[in-house]
Structures are given as structure tokens and as C-alpha cells.
Amino acid sequence: MSAPSRTLPSPVLLAPQGPQLSPIVAGAWRMADWGFSPQQRLGWIQQCLDLGVSSFDHADIYGGYTVEQLFGEALALQPSLRQQMQLVSKCGIKLVSGARPGHGLNSYDTSRAHVLASVDASLRALRTDHLDLLLIHRPDFLMDPQALADTLADLRRAGKVLNFGVSNHRPSQLSLLHERLPLVTNQIELSPLQMGALADGTLDQCLSLGLRPMIWSPLAGGRLFTGEDAQARRVQAVLAQLAVQYGVSCATLAYAWILRHPSRPVPIAGSRRVAALQEALAALTLDLAAEDWYRVWEASMGHPVP
């Protein structure tokens, strides 16, 4: 008998002009720490695709400028998989590293020369001819928004990058670039332990512009389950109670809390464990009641709504 068919999650549109990503994105940030062989990395990529997680999040600096290369080595073992996935990467941070001997200081750089060189390096490392999405990793205090927009437009004309966004940008910083070149997302931190984006206008702007935010560290880097501070303990208690009520894991409940926001976030699950991806995917069909969402909010803030 053949195995029962599995319904895969439908892709989501990040912005009116695109692109489409999987509703849960696989994060490769820690791949250099996994100790995987190229074949094992390929196996992880294939498992993600089999689950319907077709989008992979990178940055040039991850793993001390090694993760993109590790991913590219695995992809080279089965290059046809590139047609089934979307590759996201970031640039704009310069770290002092043996891999980048020209960097004399940790800094930000959105100059034309640095962005073009970073994209070319990412393409070589990932063994691909284009990125589906490029994000400016951090706000550059010296950014010339028109010059950067012109550089990004040139990358699009060259076919090297199809779409652009930012990461960790405040609303005013995103607007400076978005006014000159349409962006598709702001990749930000959001979790039941880190809720600044709810109050600082970041998610409001995403709603206003019709941009789905991408969410990094949705489980607070594991602190959501292992933290021993007062905030973490309060949230852990509420998540455990609600997880039993909804019949899911605490991780699934945490993802559902993020997905409940009307900006329609796209979380990044940065784990080598297939089970962790499955917990994130399970949240896509969990209908979290508004009062339960606020129970988590209250536990995190340590007080009722004002």
C-alpha cells in the first residue's frame, strides 16, 4: 500500500508584489554548529521540502561567514532542488573575521561596493544564480537611501536578486528605503518574551503597507522553555496551561501566539530537528482565542492590560 498523502501548507504572499514563501521558513543560522556532513545537510534540506517548508533563511555573516557555503555544498549534491526552494539572505553587517580580512572593525555598511560584493559572495557560496529575497540586515546610520535603492534596483535588473526587504529596521528607517524602492518585508524579533514590535509601530507599519513581517527567534532562542527569570517563568506557566487546553505542545502554542497577529507574520524555525519544524507547522491550523492571546501578553508584561 502506498503511504497516505499529506497536505502541504500553501505558500503565502509577503507583499502585494510578491514573493511567495512557505508560511514557516527554515532558519540556517546555526548550521555551522550542527556538525552535519554535506549528505546530512542535504537530508535536512530534503526533509524541510517534504514538509512544505520551501524557504530557507540565511545571512552572509552566519557561522562566521560559513553557513551559506555549507548550505551550497549540500545543494550541489542535488542541484535540482534549487527549483523547489526560495533562498533568503541578508547583508549590511561587517564583522572582523579571517574570512573577510578587509574588515577592520565591526560596523554596518550599505555602500554600493559592499552590497554588490556581499551579494556576489552569497551567490557563489549558495551555488545559485539569484536570491529570491535580500534583506538589509541592520540599519546603517550612514545609509544613503537613494544610493542604496539604486544599487538594489541594479541587482534586480541584473537578475541577481528578485525581491528586497529589511531586517531589524524601525518604521522610519524602513520608510526611507521603501519610498524609493518597494520592499516586501521587515524581518524582526517577536516572541512571547520579546514584544517590543507590538508597541513601537513596527507591526502597525507592516499592516499599513501590506507587508508580512518575517519573525526571527520566535521561541526567544530557547529561553521560552529554559529561562529561569520571573518573566520566563510566568510565560512558561501560561503556555503550559494553554497547551493542555488546545492539545498541542508549548512550542506550537508559542508559534500560534505569533501567527494570531493580523499582520500575518511568517516565523523562522531555526532548528535541525524535523520535530521542531512540525511543531511550528502545527500552529498554522490552531485558532487561538483572543483572550488566550492576551493571557500570554499579560504573563509576559507582568500586569493586566491598562
As annotated, the active-site residues are: 62
In whole angstroms, give the CA distance from residue 186 to residue 189: 10
- The answer to the question of residue 110 being in a domain is yes
Distance from chain centroid for Cα 235 = 23
Cα separation, 279 vs 250, whole angstroms: 9
User: Residues with Cβ < 8 Å from 39, sequence gap 6 or more?
Assistant: 74, 77
Per-residue pLDDT of the chain (306 residues; tens, 9 = 90+): 334 456 899 999 999 989 999 999 999 999 999 999 999 999 999 999 999 999 999 999 999 999 999 999 999 999 999 999 999 999 999 999 999 999 999 999 999 999 999 999 999 999 999 999 999 999 999 999 999 999 999 999 999 999 999 999 999 999 999 999 999 999 999 999 999 999 999 999 999 999 999 999 999 999 999 999 999 999 999 999 999 999 999 999 999 999 999 999 999 999 999 999 999 999 999 999 999 999 999 999 999 999
Q: What is the pLDDT of residue 3?
A: 43
The whole domain housing 28 covers 13-184
Task: Note the pLDDT of residue 7.
Answer: 87
Q: Is residue 62 part of a domain?
A: yes
Query: Is residue 212 assigned to a domain?
Result: no
SS3 123: helix
Residue 4 confidence (pLDDT): 44
pTM of the model: 0.96
| Total tally of structural domains belonging to the chain | 1
Q: What is the domain-level CATH number for residue 103?
A: 3.20.20.100
For residue 236, tell me if it sits in a domain.
Answer: no
Per-residue DSSP letters for 14-25? SSTT--EE-SSE
Query: Residue 87 domain-assigned?
Result: yes
What is the C-alpha to C-alpha distance for residues 21 and 132, in angstroms, rounded to an integer? 9
Strand-pair category, 164-167 with 133-136:
parallel
pLDDT, residue 6, reads 66
Residue 4: inside a domain: no
For 20, list phi and psi in degrees, rounded to 5. -95, 130
1, part of any domain: no
In the numeric block, the cell 500586569 is attached to 303
Q: Would residue 303 count as lying in a domain?
A: no
State the pLDDT at residue 1: 39
